[in-house]
Chains A and B, each alone.
Chain A
Amino acid sequence: MQRDSLRIAGFFRRGPAVQIEVDGEPVQAFEGESIAAALLAAGRRTLRHAPDGAPRGLYCGMGVCFECVVEVDGDPSVRSCLTPVRAGMRIQTPRPLREGN
Chain B
Amino acid sequence: MASPEIVIVGAGPAGLAAGIEAARLSATVLVLDEYAAPGGQYYRQPAPGLTAAGDRPSFAHSREGQERIEDARRAGVEFLSGALVWGGFADGTIALQVGDASRTLSPAKLILAGGAQDRPVAFPGWTLPGVMTAGAAQALVRGQGVLPGRRILMAGTGPLQIAMAAQLVEAGAQVTAVLEAHRPSALLGMAPHFWGQWGRLQEGWAYTRTLRAARVPIRFGRTVLRVAGNGALSRVVTVALDGDWHPIPGSEVEVEVDTLCLGFGLVPNTKLARLFGCRITHDPSRGGLVPVHDEQMQTSRPGIFVAGEAAGIAGAKAAELQGRIAGLSAAVALGKGKGGDAGQRVETARHALAVELRFARALNRIFVLRLGLRALVTDETIICRCEGITAGVLRATVAEWTRTVDAVRTVSRAGFGRCQGATCETLVADLLSQATGASIGDVGQFHVRPPLKPIPLGALADLAADRSDAV
Contact = CB atoms under 8 A, between A and B. Distances in A.
B48 interface: yes
B149 interface: yes
A66 B48 contact: no
Contact of B419 (A15, A58, A64, A101): A64
B173 to A, nearest CB: 7
Interface in B134-184: 135-141, 143-150, 171-174
A7 B277 CA distance: 43
Given A32-B49, A58-B132, A84-B48, A8 B139 contact: no
Given A8-B172, A50-B127, A55-B128, A33 B146 contact: yes
Interface residues on A, range: 35 or more
B47 interface: yes
A71 interface: no
A51 B135 contact: no
A2 B34 CA distance: 32
A91 interface: no
B52 interface: yes
Interface residues of B, number: 57
A99 B417 CA distance: 18
Nearest to B258: A45
A47 B129 contact: yes
A58 B127 contact: no
Shortest Cβ-Cβ A-B pairs, 5 listed: A32-B49, A61-B136, A57-B129, A15-B49, A2-B172
Interface of B: 34-36, 41, 46-54, 56, 58, 117-118, 127-133, 135-141, 143-150, 171-174, 231-232, 269, 385-388, 417-419, 422-423, 453-454
22 contacts: A2-B173, A6-B149, A10-B53, A12-B46, A12-B145, A14-B50, A32-B48, A33-B47, A33-B49, A40-B148, A41-B146, A45-B129, A50-B388, A58-B136, A59-B133, A59-B136, A59-B385, A61-B135, A62-B139, A82-B36, A84-B48, A101-B388
Interface of A: 1-2, 6-16, 30-34, 36-37, 40-41, 45-47, 50-52, 54-67, 69, 77, 81-82, 84, 101
